[in-house]
Amino acid sequence: MDNTHEDLDILRDKVRGVTIQIMRAVQERMELARKIGEVKSRLGIDIKDEKVENDIRMTVMSLAEEIGMSTEFALQLLNVLLAESEQVQVQKSEQRVVEKQTHLSIFSKARQLEASGKKIIHMEVGEPDYSAPARVGAALADSFEMKHYHYTDTQGIAKLRDAIATKEGGGISRDQVVVTPGGRFAVFSAITSLLRAGQEMIVIEPAWPAYKECADFVGARTKILRTTIENKWIPDTKQMERMINSSTKMIVLNYPNNPTGKVLDDKIMEKIVLLAKDHGLYLLSDEVYADYVFGEFTSIREYDYAKSIVIGSFSKRYAMTGFRVGYGIANKDIISKMARVQAVAITSVAEPMQRAALAALEVDPSENVQLMKTRLDYVCSKLKKMSLRYIEPEGAMYVYPELPNGDDLTIIERLLEKGVAIAPGTGFGDAYKRYVRISACQPEKTLEKGLDVIASVIREDL
């Protein structure tokens, strides 16, 4: 059959007609969503309904298969519709978003107070007070002398990647390492390169807020698996399994945990790895506190799962937060995806910072770890005297106690007035307004002062 430009015009007219038809149907869908929103609001039901969403997802998936549509595209389209429906269902009055308070926003407030002359005890931020190793200073000076301040390989200088591979052990090669500006960028590049808009990621709360922020950045959805102090912050793997659907692509782990200090035992870890394997999910394991472990800890790497990504950092281990050097470890395919994000966003990590990190790796951090353990024990002993409920940290640099009364933001406001900064529980999940995070990154004397103020404030009427 010969085709002509007229055929093209006829086809294009049809496309126009169908497009209008689609748009009208979509608008009808939005009207229905709005009505559902109203009914829900009258009945006092949550806007989001996982079960209903999953049902419609299954319907669309089987329809797509039936009519020969790409299921990936069908899900993408459905996710665009679901996101807009949700938007439409939310009442205008609810849209007034109060900016969420996190450990970083409190840190920022605390520094503003300091700038105005107030003395502040910083127990809000995870920034160790001790000094970076002396040889790091020497490495900095050397880097200038040797003119080591040029672009490097996107993934980082080979020597540093080799040294990280050696430190992490287990037959990793330099191709499986990417050096990033802080562990945060490793998280960012993993999540943004492996997830797409509408896809889902499971996060166990309480959690560092960065995971969700990175997912939001690409329009991916964060499904929250809440843990409780009653269950010693151990995630319910049965519940986790029920959260997995065809759009789920990643599970995020963070042990030793920020903010609870929890470390999961091998049995639970095995179950989670098995879930990930069964459903082909990425397993992002943020292990930046892996050095601060006071008992047993098994890295996700030991489970030998091809779709796992380990995040490490120099920030906590060597008190080098401001050097902004971290890394990701994964298979070559995942690393090259992460490196691609790095190439687009920053070219490479500052070379003097990489040289400093390389020098730091020669230093044994066990003194720092011992110091942190002693401080955490001290914080716990004080919290015990206040009769606060908490789980003894098995790692990391924090304690996450329950408040006897009042909510986190009220307490924090009062504490700031009295010169003590701690992090709000809700910074790690909406459900945790009865909690606060206390960071042990200060000398014991300072911690004592801060904890005495906390003790006096929580006894007040709130």
Stretch that binds a copy of itself, among 212-220, 253-261, 372-380, 451-459 (CB under 8 A): 212-220
Residue 302 DSSP class: G
Which one of 120, 160, 288, 341 is in contact with a copy of itself (CB under 8 A)? 341
Task: Pick out residues in 67-86 that bind a copy of itself (CB under 8 A).
Answer: 67-70, 73-74, 76-78, 80-81, 84-85
Q: Toward a copy of itself, which CB reaches closer, 143 or 176?
A: 143
Q: List the beta bridge partners of residue 328.
A: 178, 311
Which one of 156, 181, 393, 450 is in contact with a copy of itself (CB under 8 A)? 181
Using CB under 8 A as the binding rule, whether residue 90 contacts a copy of itself is answered as: no
Which one of 334, 353, 423, 451 is in contact with a copy of itself (CB under 8 A)? 353
Q: List the beta bridge partners of residue 369.
A: none
Task: Pick out residues in 389-408 that bind a copy of itself (CB under 8 A).
Answer: none
Using CB under 8 A as the binding rule, whether residue 44 contacts a copy of itself is answered as: no
Using CB under 8 A as the binding rule, whether residue 54 contacts a copy of itself is answered as: no
Using CB under 8 A as the binding rule, whether residue 18 contacts a copy of itself is answered as: yes
Which one of 110, 172, 335, 349 is in contact with a copy of itself (CB under 8 A)? 349
Strands 420-424 and 121-123: parallel
Q: Toward a copy of itself, which CB reaches closer, 136 or 379?
A: 136
Calpha distance 176→237 (Å, rounded): 29
Calpha distance 33→83 (Å, rounded): 11
- Burial string for 147-179 (b: 16+ CB within 10 Å, else e) reads ebeeebbbbbbeebbebbbeebeeebebebbbb
To a copy of itself, the closest distance from the beta carbon of 113 in angstroms equals 14
Q: Toward a copy of itself, which CB reaches closer, 27 or 374?
A: 27
Task: Pick out residues in 271-330 that bind a copy of itself (CB under 8 A).
Answer: 320-325
Using CB under 8 A as the binding rule, whether residue 11 contacts a copy of itself is answered as: yes
Q: Toward a copy of itself, which CB reaches closer, 263 or 357?
A: 357
Which one of 91, 347, 381, 456 is in contact with a copy of itself (CB under 8 A)? 347
Using CB under 8 A as the binding rule, whether residue 371 contacts a copy of itself is answered as: no
Using CB under 8 A as the binding rule, whether residue 155 contacts a copy of itself is answered as: no
Query: Residue 109, class by beta-carbon neighbours within 10 Å (0-12 exposed, 13-18 middle, 19+ buried)?
Result: middle
Beta strands in 263-324 (DSSP E): 282-286, 308-313
CB of 327 closer than 8 Å to CB of 164: yes
Using CB under 8 A as the binding rule, whether residue 343 contacts a copy of itself is answered as: yes
Query: Token pair for residue 200?
Result: 């889902």
Which one of 91, 94, 131, 385 is in contact with a copy of itself (CB under 8 A)? 131
To a copy of itself, the closest distance from the beta carbon of 58 in angstroms equals 11
To a copy of itself, the closest distance from the beta carbon of 108 in angstroms equals 7
Stretch that binds a copy of itself, among 28-36, 248-256, 365-373, 413-421 (CB under 8 A): 28-36
Cα–Cα nearest to 312, from 296, 293, 325: 325
To a copy of itself, the closest distance from the beta carbon of 276 in angstroms equals 25
Task: Describe the strand order of the beta sheet including 200-205 as a list of residue ranges.
Answer: 177-180, 326-329, 308-313, 282-286, 248-253, 200-205, 221-226
Using CB under 8 A as the binding rule, whether residue 7 contacts a copy of itself is answered as: yes
Calpha distance 155→349 (Å, rounded): 8
Task: Pick out residues in 231-250 that bind a copy of itself (CB under 8 A).
Answer: none
Using CB under 8 A as the binding rule, whether residue 58 contacts a copy of itself is answered as: no
Which one of 110, 123, 136, 454 is in contact with a copy of itself (CB under 8 A)? 136
Calpha distance 83→49 (Å, rounded): 12
Residue 270 DSSP class: H
Instruction: Cite the DSSP H helix spans in 204-259.
Output: 210-217, 237-243
Q: How many residues bind a copy of itself (CB under 8 A)?
A: 105
Stretch that binds a copy of itself, among 207-215, 278-286, 300-308, 429-437 (CB under 8 A): 207-215
Using CB under 8 A as the binding rule, whether residue 361 contacts a copy of itself is answered as: no
Query: Token pair for residue 396?
Result: 């990391």
Question: With helix as H, strand as E and coil as C, how does 422-451 read?
Answer: EEEHHHHCCCCCCEEEEECCCCHHHHHHHH
Tell me the C-alpha to C-alpha distance, in Å, between residue 154 and each of 288, 312, 341, 349, 459: 21, 17, 10, 8, 53
